[in-house]
Structure 1
Amino acid sequence: MNKEFRNPDVVLDIKDKPNGIKWLGLSLQHLFTMFGATVLVPILVGINPGIALFSSGLGTLVYLFVTKGKIPAYLGSSFAFIAAMQMLMKDAGYPAIALGAVTTGMVYLIVSLIVKKAGSAWLDRLLPPIVVGPVVMVIGLGLAANAANQAMYQNLPNGEQLYNVKYIAVALLTLLLTIVFNMYLKGFLGLIPILLGIVCGYVIALLFGIVDIEPIKEAAWFAVPNFQVPFVTYSPKLYITAIVTMAPIAFVTMTEHIGHLMVLNKLTKRNFYENPGLNRTLMGDGLAQIVAGLVGGPPVTSYGENIGVLAITRVHSVFVIGGAAVLAMVLGFVGKLTAIIQSIPGPVIAGISFILFGVIASSGLKILIDNKIDFNKKRNLLIASVILVVGIGGLTFQVGPVALSGMALATLFGILLNVFLPENAKSETE
Structure 2
Amino acid sequence: MRGDFIMNVKRIFLGLELFAICFGATVLVPLLTGIPTSIVLFTAGITTLIMHYFGKGKYGAPIIFLGSSFAYIVPINHVRDEWGFAAVFFALGIAGIMKVLFSRIVKYFGSELISKKLFPPVVFGSMIALIGLTLIEDGLGMASENWLLALITLITAAVLMVFAKGIPNLFSVLIAVLVGYIASLFSGSVTVEINYLIGLPAFTKPEVNWQAVFYMLPFALAPTIEHFGDIFAITEATGKKYYESPGIHRTMLIDGIGTMMSFLGSVPNTTYSEGVSAVNLLKIKDDKVARNAGIWALLFSFVGLLSAFLQSIPTAVIGGVMVILFGSIITIGLKSFVKGKVDFGNPRNILIASVMFVFGLGGVKIWVFEEVGLAALLGLTLQMLFLIYDKITGNGEDDEGDLDPLTVDV
Scaled by the length of structure 2, the TM-score of the pair is 0.88
TM-superposed CA distance for 1:219, in Å, is: 3.7
Q: 1:18 to 1:294 in 2, by over 3 A?
A: farther
TM-superposed CA distance for 1:383, in Å, is: 2.0
Looking at structure 2, the residues matched to 92 and 383 of structure 1 have their Cα atoms a distance apart, in angstroms, of 40
- 1:344 equivalent in alignment to 2:313: yes
Looking at structure 2, the residues matched to 115 and 372 of structure 1 have their Cα atoms a distance apart, in angstroms, of 26
Partner of 2:397: none
Give the AA of the match of 1:87: H
Looking at structure 2, the residues matched to 225 and 388 of structure 1 have their Cα atoms a distance apart, in angstroms, of 40
Conserved in 2, the CA contact under 8 Å of 1:17 and 1:319? no
TM-superposed CA distance for 1:17, in Å, is: 9.9
Matched residue SS, 1:121: helix
Q: Judge which range, 412-421 or 355-364, deviates more.
A: 412-421
Partner of 1:51: 39
Once the two structures are superposed, residues 150-200 of structure 1 have per-residue CA deviations (whole angstroms, 9 ceiling, x without a partner) of 1224xxxxxxxxxxxxx1121122111101111122222321111111111
Partner of 1:239: 209
TM-superposed CA distance for 1:18, in Å, is: 7.0
Conserved in 2, the CA contact under 8 Å of 1:227 and 1:296? yes
Q: Judge which range, 18-27 or 191-200, deviates more.
A: 18-27
Give the AA of the match of 1:30: L
- 1:295 equivalent in alignment to 2:287: no
Gaps of 5+ in 2: 391-410
Matched residue SS, 2:302: coil
Looking at structure 2, the residues matched to 208 and 99 of structure 1 have their Cα atoms a distance apart, in angstroms, of 43
Looking at structure 1, the residues matched to 88 and 18 of structure 2 have their Cα atoms a distance apart, in angstroms, of 27
Conserved in 1, the CA contact under 8 Å of 2:67 and 2:270? yes
Q: Judge which range, 186-195 or 373-382, deviates more.
A: 373-382
Partner of 1:152: 144
1:25 to 8, 13, 17: 13
- 1:101 equivalent in alignment to 2:66: no
Conserved in 1, the CA contact under 8 Å of 2:130 and 2:330? yes
How do 1:301-340 residues align onto structure 2 when only pairs under 5 Å count? 301-340=270-309
Looking at structure 1, the residues matched to 259 and 222 of structure 2 have their Cα atoms a distance apart, in angstroms, of 14
Give the AA of the match of 2:22: M
How do 1:21-420 residues align onto structure 2 when only pairs under 5 Å count? 21-68=9-56, 70-123=61-114, 124-153=116-145, 167-213=146-192, 215=193, 218-228=194-204, 230=205, 237-290=207-260, 292-398=261-367, 403-420=368-385
Scaled by the length of structure 1, the TM-score of the pair is 0.84
Looking at structure 1, the residues matched to 35 and 329 of structure 2 have their Cα atoms a distance apart, in angstroms, of 29
Once the two structures are superposed, residues 344-394 of structure 1 have per-residue CA deviations (whole angstroms, 9 ceiling, x without a partner) of 111111110111111111011011122232333433223212211221233
Q: 1:377 to 1:116 in 2, by over 3 A?
A: closer
Matched residue SS, 1:83: helix
RMSD: 2.0
Once the two structures are superposed, residues 250-277 of structure 1 have per-residue CA deviations (whole angstroms, 9 ceiling, x without a partner) of 2211122110101112222232222112
Q: Judge which range, 261-270 or 348-357, deviates more.
A: 261-270
Greater fraction of residues in helix: 2
Looking at structure 2, the residues matched to 310 and 324 of structure 1 have their Cα atoms a distance apart, in angstroms, of 11
Once the two structures are superposed, residues 84-133 of structure 1 have per-residue CA deviations (whole angstroms, 9 ceiling, x without a partner) of 11122223323212212221111111111112222223322111111121
